[in-house]
Structure 1
């Protein structure tokens, strides 16, 4: 029997690679004769570059970048040869992710570090830059990124939405000259616009520490910022309404303003690692996630892997910390069965940490699904 193991990260507990190794080792305890292929997966939100590097190799370029509040952080750009095209993959969450100051000063958080990574990718000779827009603490419409790439404005671009108060002009000529013929791609699992009731600020702002008054204030500031970037005519500012413009705290908007195309994050990783081919030569597809619940829909690793398995006419099984999806919902997602670490007894669950618990669950699942 040939088994494809394609999990995502288990929150902050296990990376996709570590989860894949744990599942494979547990499966081998029960069915050592099975052939197990491990293909770590990710969407744009978590582990984007790590999953690609694990499966595809490539050159990891470490970059000194700015964190959301200006402090130094270490970011990574992954350089791969994609059919003769040197492509750089950037994980925005790696430089815009959780920060101790975030909830105290969310209106000062900036995306400048993403611009530092994109600039490094261009200097490394990338003809194509794919930016994975994951969750971060900034909601500045990508202004910080634009500033880091050379944009000029009549207000500071690297001081978060608070710094954009009163913005009237944003000049992108220097950014476009720096990009030259470099192709930009937005990889995102979020289809929200930048502004309005379903926009980045109202949907994600409260989770980043913006209270009701701050949400309204930041939305107004970003509305003026859109006019400064695009112009006031409705047709020109329509970029802010496109699906994905609100991703990454509005990074999607800034990249779209530079002519970027948009593609789903999970599909981006799946295509690059050859997930469909691996599924077709397998008898069973396993995936995994921290919580398999009602949020595990389109745009998540579980949904993406299950879709690929379904196209290949292969059963898909989910392993998770906990499972909160009923049989009907599960089958609607293309998942044949789901198993939870939470269902193991206490000794198995906590004896040797999360990796060992996941391996133990995989060993149990193999008794059901492998011919042994």
Structure 2
């Protein structure tokens, strides 16, 4: 029996490769003679770069970038496909993980570091950049990223504006003559798992501004600034950067990526193509996938849903292992997995999940193995 073990990470407790290894050990221990292929996955968020580098035999490069407040910090990008493709996570430079809780301020934060990462990828001579834009700490509409790539934003007196949310409303002129010419010859794919437009109640500011530290008054300032900034960008772009799905992702970074000619695609779709997930599923007899929490959001294109979709296409059974499942009966029915196992007791406080996660997963994986072994015995008895 060939089993493909293709989980996402269990947020806050285990990375995807740790999850896969724990499941493999349990299966090999309890079901002798099986072959397990490990394929840790991600959907474009945290861990995407490491997952792709591992799956595709890539390598990492460390570069110096500016964090959301302009401090120089080290960050990594991955090279895959014989160095022709760079995988970049904007969060490595411009993410909330770079700030303390008291430093969150979308009026001041910027995406200069994301531009630094893209420029570093261009310096390495890549033909393609895959950019994940989850986990941002910014609401600058990608102004910082564009500045780092050679754009200039000018105030009413023709002076350069520093990229920041507070300066969006001050933009009176733009100069893209210095934009890095290598961008024209580089295909950029943006992994974007939200479909928010740039402006309005479902836009970048109103939906995501609060988690980045914006007060109600600051939200109004940022929204008006974004509206003004977007109008300036739109004059120079044939594509719709305001209403396009995903334009509001990462504090409007999606809009700036559209301006650069990038395509915005669901993360799981891009990653599945890169690692040939469908081909690996076709070569297996059973697929085991999972993530820390399975709920209605899972059904909207996250890793587990993507694996299930491709497995149904190949008519392969799938076992899902989740930390917890919200509305289990309802979600399980919609999910359409062959079997669904949970690792955590509903009575376990969230604060204790990390300490128990690995042991609980190992115990659940052993239960899965016991079921598989029982199935073998039943089939053997029939034969």
The normalised TM-score by structure 1 is: 0.91
Aligned mate of 2:329, from 306, 321, 327: 327
**How big is each residue's C-alpha offset from its partner over 1:23-43, in whole Å with a ceiling of 9 and x where there is no partner?**
111222221322111101111
Q: Is the CA contact (8 Å cut-off) linking 1:323 and 1:338 kept in structure 2?
A: no
Counterparts of 1:324 and 1:223, CA distance in 2: 37
1:300 Cα deviation (Å)? 1.1
Aligned mate of 1:230, from 226, 230, 234: 234
Q: 1:157 to 1:4 in 2, by over 3 A?
A: farther
Q: Is the CA contact (8 Å cut-off) linking 1:102 and 1:208 kept in structure 2?
A: no
Secondary structure of the 1:107 match is coil
Aligned mate of 1:95, from 83, 89, 93: 93
Secondary structure of the 1:106 match is coil
**Which has the larger displacement, 123-132 or 206-215?**
206-215
Counterparts of 2:89 and 2:313, CA distance in 1: 28
Q: 1:319 to 1:9 in 2, by over 3 A?
A: same
Measured on the aligned residues, the alpha-carbon RMSD in Å equals 2.4
**How big is each residue's C-alpha offset from its partner over 1:186-216, in whole Å with a ceiling of 9 and x where there is no partner?**
1211111111121111111122222222222
Partner of 1:358: 361
1:154 Cα deviation (Å)? 1.2
Aligned mate of 1:194, from 198, 202, 206: 198
1:158 Cα deviation (Å)? 4.9
Q: Is the CA contact (8 Å cut-off) linking 1:64 and 1:73 kept in structure 2?
A: yes
Q: Is the CA contact (8 Å cut-off) linking 2:199 and 2:226 kept in structure 1?
A: yes
Secondary structure of the 2:40 match is coil
Partner of 2:285: 283
**How big is each residue's C-alpha offset from its partner over 1:1-47, in whole Å with a ceiling of 9 and x where there is no partner?**
22111111111321111111111112222213221111011111221
Secondary structure of the 1:175 match is coil
The normalised TM-score by structure 2 is: 0.89
Partner of 2:130: 130
Partner of 2:381: none
Counterparts of 1:188 and 1:157, CA distance in 2: 28
Q: Is the CA contact (8 Å cut-off) linking 2:46 and 2:134 kept in structure 1?
A: yes
Counterparts of 2:307 and 2:143, CA distance in 1: 34
1:230 Cα deviation (Å)? 2.0
Counterparts of 2:19 and 2:161, CA distance in 1: 39
Does 1:309 find its partner at 2:342?
no
Partner of 1:51: 51
Counterparts of 1:189 and 1:54, CA distance in 2: 22
Q: 1:223 to 1:351 in 2, by over 3 A?
A: closer
Does 1:23 find its partner at 2:27?
no
Does 1:251 find its partner at 2:253?
yes
Gaps of 5+ in 2: 377-383
Q: 1:251 to 1:54 in 2, by over 3 A?
A: same
Q: Is the CA contact (8 Å cut-off) linking 1:147 and 1:157 kept in structure 2?
A: no
1:350 Cα deviation (Å)? 8.0
Aligned mate of 1:297, from 289, 294, 299: 299
1:224 Cα deviation (Å)? 0.8
Partner of 1:170: 174
Counterparts of 1:350 and 1:193, CA distance in 2: 35
Q: 1:157 to 1:309 in 2, by over 3 A?
A: farther
Does 1:4 find its partner at 2:8?
no
Structure possessing the higher radius of gyration over alpha carbons: 2
Q: 1:93 to 1:279 in 2, by over 3 A?
A: same
Counterparts of 1:122 and 1:35, CA distance in 2: 40
Q: Is the CA contact (8 Å cut-off) linking 2:104 and 2:212 kept in structure 1?
A: no
Partner of 1:209: 213
Q: Is the CA contact (8 Å cut-off) linking 1:6 and 1:286 kept in structure 2?
A: yes
Aligned pairs for 1:136-151 (under 5 A) are 136-151=136-151
Q: 1:344 to 1:330 in 2, by over 3 A?
A: closer
**How big is each residue's C-alpha offset from its partner over 1:232-257, in whole Å with a ceiling of 9 and x where there is no partner?**
9xx95722211111122211110110
**Which has the larger displacement, 26-35 or 335-344?**
335-344
Secondary structure of the 1:295 match is helix
